[in-house]
Amino acid sequence: MSTPGSAVSGTTGSVLQPRWKRVLGWSGPVPRPRHGHRAVAIKELMVVFGGGNEGIVDELHVYNT
């Protein structure tokens, strides 16, 4: 059994750990705060779809990390 933050038993190599990084400069629209959205990381991209705060929206945001 593995402990939180440890590698899964039977795997080799190192485990990448998530980390926060402050964004100092950006361009384009900034999405409003929301909940109920879906997000996925695909290689260097972060894709966020839907959700809402004052009603549901169908916005799609793609960020290049």
Element counts in the chain: helices (H) and strands (E): 0, 3
Interatomic CA distance for residues 26 and 36, integer angstroms: 24
Tens digit of each residue's pLDDT (9 = 90 or more) over 7-63: 555 556 788 888 888 878 878 878 788 899 999 999 999 999 999 888 888 889 898
The pLDDT, as a whole number, for residue 9 is: 52
